[in-house]
Amino acid sequence: MAPTISSDLLIADVVKKYPGSERIFTKHGVGCAGCNISKVETIAQGAAGHGKAVGMSLDALLDDLNAFADTGKLPPGTPEQPKGTNTMTAQAGIKNVIAVMSGKGGVGKSLVAGLLAVGLRRHGFRVGILDGDITGPSIPRMFGVRGKPGVHGQKLLPSMTQTGIGIISMNLLLPSEEEAVIWRGPMVSGAIRQFFTDVEWGDLDYLIVDLPPGTSDAPLTVMQALPVTGTILVTTPQALATMVVTKAVRLVKQLGGDILGVVENMAYVEMPESRERIEVFGPSQGLKLVIASGAPLLARVPIDPLIAHLADNGKIEEYRSPQFEELQHNFLALAPLKEPSPG
């Protein structure tokens, strides 16, 4: 007789039909059972993408699932899961995951991700940054972090910035920061998953995920495999950039994600003496993305030589400006967690 559950079934369908089976997926290293990826991936696909890193057996997973389907009893070694929490969030101790994405390269996603983390930290939140730009990481240099991540048991420990922001990035694992990472898409996606699951982040109010450009493997991995609370979209005033970022809007909406806001970077240059604003890349296109995304414009960040100087010298945590204050204020006004967690 054929088994009740086969590898070609969607993970979401199994979890829906057999509540509690998501804990069996977790046991075998397939932590996507409680997130959006389960809506589009089969058990075989989820096992190949998530379980490969931990050397899981697809046959053992299917045996446990079928035993549970037949008897209603969870197999030995099945982990507990706190009620009302996503499996991966409960494992990582992270309250909110904020993805910073664009779809377009060169618009300053890393800068916005870094500034957002700095602002949250100044307000007392416990913050981490997952540098998801595996082949072009810049977060460590921006924060002046060069020390290798520590190790605790089987997990990495994030490297800490001067103000206590935890960072994990491929650049921290390479022999030198100039070393090239020449990987295909699936390897990049696997690294992002492991940066989430195999790092001991501790208790965080916010984990900011800096995404690479595009709407392919890496952004899909974050939007589908990680328990993303909301997304911040970054653009520039150029109509071309706005057109490409609109693709990211559609990606997030297609996956059922929540867009929290839009940031228009490199919006203008303010002359030092006259305070005249020169729109180097043309007039603002932010309203178009606000309409397309249904989310507010959080800030228009200017081209500021001070930002470049501080980022190049690893001192972005020292940056202050009225526009930065506006970004912090507007994000916190709609943030899922408005006050730091006690402790």
For 207, 291, 299, the CA distances from 219, given in Å and listed in that order, are 16, 22, 23
Q: Are 158 and 184 in contact (CB under 8 A)?
A: no
pLDDT tens digit string along 78-100? 776 444 344 444 445 888 999 99
Whether residue 166 is found in the same domain as residue 21: no
- Number of domains within the chain: 2
Statement: residue 111 has pLDDT above 90 = yes
Domain at 154, CATH number: 3.40.50.300
pLDDT of res. 54? 47
Statement: residue 55 has pLDDT above 70 = no
Whether residue 83 is found in the same domain as residue 103: no
For β-strands 259-264 and 297-300, DSSP reports them as parallel
Whether residue 71 is found in the same domain as residue 197: no
pLDDT of res. 278? 93
pLDDT tens digit string along 114-134? 999 999 999 999 999 999 988
Whether residue 38 is found in the same domain as residue 149: no
What string of DSSP letters covers 256-317? Answer: T--EEEEEE-S--EE-TTT--EE-TT-S--HHHHHHHHT--EEEE----HHHHHHHHTT-GG
Greater confidence, 316 or 193? Answer: 316
pLDDT tens digit string along 126-185? 999 999 988 888 999 999 998 889 988 888 999 999 999 999 999 998 877 777 777 776
Sign (positive/negative) of CA torsion 14, 18, 23, 24? Answer: negative
Range of the domain at 250: 93-334
pLDDT tens digit string along 263-279? 999 999 998 888 899 99
| Domain end among 87, 106, 137 | 87
Whether residue 227 is found in the same domain as residue 210: yes
Percent over 90 (pLDDT), the chain: 36
Q: What are phi and psi of 342, to 5 degrees?
A: -65, 155
Whether residue 213 is found in the same domain as residue 292: yes
How would residue 303 be classed by pLDDT, with cut points 50, 70 and 90? very high
Burial class (CB in 10 A: 0-12, 13-18, 19+), 49: buried
